Chains A and B, each alone.
Chain A
């Protein structure tokens, strides 16, 4: 365990000045900032909205852009950046000849990629809430304070996180195998589009394809917002079913890839 913690801290130390790390921080910040500016500029049109509607309108574009487009790209990039660090510096052999169990070194890297994604999504929640409330203070006519979206938003993003683990682990493995960006990027991109089409068309077995999962998590939320808009009375019934079968598939893929990746990395370190 000590080896794992040391390796994990080292991962942070190594990446803290790279784009891989900062993209996980800047992406939520910038995206929330843009929506904030948009709302600030159009605040007069939004005054008649109820607190809940405001929050949903505020969170939805961020979620939409993120879930459909940016998140798969971000996952591909995070998985790549964590591994390319070692490819570029040719350090696989070094980190595996440290007096630390090989499993700890590998697991630390794997979970660090998870951590970056978690951090990014947690910041999305924080920045959405932060900017929303800040907007409410700047423009008291906007009734942000009437409703609290914190709980449901946290649940949605957490669901997103769980739904992304399958993709992240596959991308992690691809980035481990290929030292260049194009292969994992290309494969990831094609799979993301395929996953989007499968989930978008409601294919019965889309839940088995990890690249469909974020979109499926996203759609569940979309139906909820519609319900919320049309029937304000349904407001308290917002729930996110956390462990759907696609989420289980996502988790299973993550575990399977973790194990497979360990054996691959043992071979890889000696090339």
Chain B
């Protein structure tokens, strides 16, 4: 495990922000750390970076205790917390050179990073004149500068356009598959994480609600049957009377939990025989977003 925490608990005053969190981040994974705003994601990340002192529980990174091996561990971590921290009066390249100075990294690496995040042409422009996307990319270049084994990114795609998001996603996938890095990435958007993560941890009110591989998450996600009829509300009531569970109704569709193909056929026949016109009926995987909401709202 690259990151392993045991019963990590953190309290701000009387408010417990992180509750006995036990994260397990395997090597080479893209670990999506999900949760709604205010769930404790950033606090957890700050604990992982030793910006906050561990109050209860333990943090092991690269199998070493964080507090007593702080410098050694931090030298192998690249991080981007919330907004990228960039000196606006300096150019993109100067920002990287400054960090390179602190990390003892050569200028060649700076140029490589600029190239990697497509900022070579804007290298000498003041960072204050960068667009949000460019700032975010510069933030990622800063995080990658020391060629760290572990990248900790807090909502790195915030404010990026779809193209930018795709680029970052491809970059992260490449980093883990080709360069064997581990990425710990937080987000409040499951759809975003779903496309790249290999592992997921879902946190709400400081508690870990789910942790496992993305396949495990999908497995816990039950499919449903979407039925499009002429009178969906009436149809839903009718189905209920016939002892068929209805998960959701809206103006156009009725959703029924999927049990088997045969049941789907029976429902179709039942509706048709009783004067409902079925325009379409199909099995669909429930949106992971809904699953995410379901998990986080159970708390």
Q: List residues of chain B with CB within 8 A of the CB of A98.
A: 74, 102-103
Query: Is B165's CB within 8 Å of the partner chain A?
Result: no
Residues of B contacting A6 in the complex (Cβ-Cβ under 8 angstroms): 101-102, 104
Scan residues 65-112 of chain A and give those whose CB is less than 8 A from a CB of chain B: 85, 88-91, 93-94, 96-101
Interface contact A100-B71, CB-CB below 8 Å: yes
Give the distance in Å from the alpha carbon of A6 to the alpha carbon of B98 in the complex: 10
Q: Is B86 in contact with chain A by the CB < 8 A criterion?
A: yes
Contacts of B83 in A (CB 8 A): 90
- By beta carbon, the residue of chain B nearest A88 is B88
User: What is the CA–CA distance of A71 and B41 in the complex, to the nearest angstrom?
Assistant: 46
Chain B residues with a Cβ closer than 8 Å to the other chain, count: 29
User: What residue in chain A is nearest B126 (Cβ atoms)?
Assistant: A17
A262 CB to closest chain B CB, in angstroms? 14
- Chain B residues positioned under 8 Å from A99 (CB to CB): 71-72, 74-75, 103, 146
- Taking the nearest CB of chain A, how far is it from the CB of B141, in angstroms? 13
* B87–A97 CB distance below 8 A: no
Cα of A257 to Cα of B260 in the assembled complex, Å: 72
Residue contact A89 to B104, C-beta cutoff 8 Å: no
Check B103 against A10 for contact (C-beta < 8 Å): no
A14 touches B74 (CB 8 A): no
A89 to B79, CA, bound (A): 16
Contacts known (A99-B75, A100-B71, A270-B46); A94 close to B101, Cβ less than 8 A = no
Is the CB–CB distance between A93 and B71 below 8 Å? no
Q: Tell me if B233 counts as interface (CB < 8 A to partner A).
A: no
CA distance A99 to B51 in the complex (A): 12
Q: Is B49 an interface residue (CB 8 A)?
A: yes
Is the beta-carbon distance between A91 and B102 smaller than 8 angstroms? no
Instruction: Say yes or no: A94 contacts B103, CB within 8 Å.
Output: no
169-218 of chain A: CB within 8 A of chain B = none
Dominant SS among interface residues on chain B: loop
B52 within 8 A of A: yes
Determine whether the beta carbon of A89 is less than 8 Å from that of B102: no
Q: How far is the CB of A174 from chain B (nearest CB, A)?
A: 22
Contact B102 A90 (CB under 8 A): no
Partner pick for A89 among B74, B75, B85, B146, CB 8 A cutoff:
B85
State whether A269 touches B90 (Cβ < 8 A): no
Minimum CB–CB distance from A93 to chain B (whole Å) comes to: 5
B46 and A7 within 8 A (CB): no
Residue B50 lies at the interface, judged by CB distance under 8 Å to chain A: yes
Report A-chain residues with C-beta under 8 Å of the C-beta of B72. 99
Give the distance to chain B from A149, nearest Cβ to Cβ, in Å. Answer: 39
CB of A18 within 8 A of chain B? Answer: yes
Residues on B with beta carbons closer than 8 Å to the beta carbon of A89: 85-88
Q: Assuming the A-B contacts A6-B104, A13-B101, are A97 and B88 also in contact, with contact meaning beta carbons closer than 8 angstroms in the complex? A: no
With A7-B102, A9-B101 already in contact, the answer to whether A270 and B51 are too (CB < 8 A) is yes
Determine how close the nearest CB of chain B comes to the CB of A160; give it in whole angstroms: 30
A101 and B71 form a contact (CB under 8 A) = yes
Q: CB of B89 within 8 A of chain A?
A: yes
Instruction: Provide the B41-73 mask, 1 if CB < 8 A to any CB of A, else 0.
Output: 000001001111000000000000000000110
**B256 contacts chain A at the CB level, 8 A cutoff:** no
Residue of A whose beta carbon sits closest to that of B73: A99
Among B51, B82, B89, B101, the residue within 8 A (CB) of A97 is B51
B173 at the interface (CB under 8 A from A): no
Checking B85, B89, B97, B146 against A17 with a beta-carbon cut-off of 8 angstroms, the contacting residue is: B89
Contact between B98 and A14, CB atoms less than 8 A apart:
yes
Q: Which residues of B contact A93 (CB under 8 A)?
A: 46, 49, 51, 81, 85
From B77, B81, B101, B142, name the one whose CB has the most chain A CB atoms within 10 angstroms.
Answer: B101
Which B250-285 residues have a C-beta within 8 angstroms of A?
A: none
Contact in complex: B90, A17 (CB < 8 Å): yes
Output the nearest chain A residue to B76 by Cβ-Cβ distance.
A99
| Contact yes or no, A10 B101, CB < 8 A | yes
Bound CA span A14–B85, Å: 13
Residues of A within 8 A of B146 (CB): 99
- In contact, A96 and B90 (Cβ under 8 angstroms): no
- In whole angstroms, how far apart are the Cα atoms of A14 and B72 in the complex? 25
Chain B residues whose CB sits within 8 angstroms of the CB of A90 once the complex forms: 82-83, 85
A269 to chain B, nearest CB (A): 6
User: For A85, what are the chain B residues with a Cβ–Cβ distance below 8 Å?
Assistant: 87
Map CB proximity to B onto A9-33 as digits: 1 under 8 Å, 0 otherwise: 1100110011000000000000000
Cβ B79 vs Cβ A97 within 8 A = yes
Q: Footprint of B on A, CB under 8 Å?
A: 6-7, 9-10, 13-14, 17-18, 85, 88-91, 93-94, 96-101, 269-270
Which B residues contact A (CB, under 8 angstroms)? 46, 49-52, 71-72, 74-75, 77, 79, 81-83, 85-90, 94, 97-98, 101-104, 142, 146
- Closest 4 interchain pairs by CB? A99-B75, A91-B85, A94-B85, A99-B74
**Sample (8) of A-B pairs whose CB atoms are under 8 Å apart:** A13-B97, A89-B87, A89-B88, A90-B83, A91-B87, A93-B85, A94-B79, A94-B81
A88-B88, A89-B88 known, 10 other contacts, Cβ within 8 Å? A6-B101, A7-B102, A9-B101, A93-B46, A93-B51, A94-B85, A96-B51, A97-B51, A97-B81, A99-B146
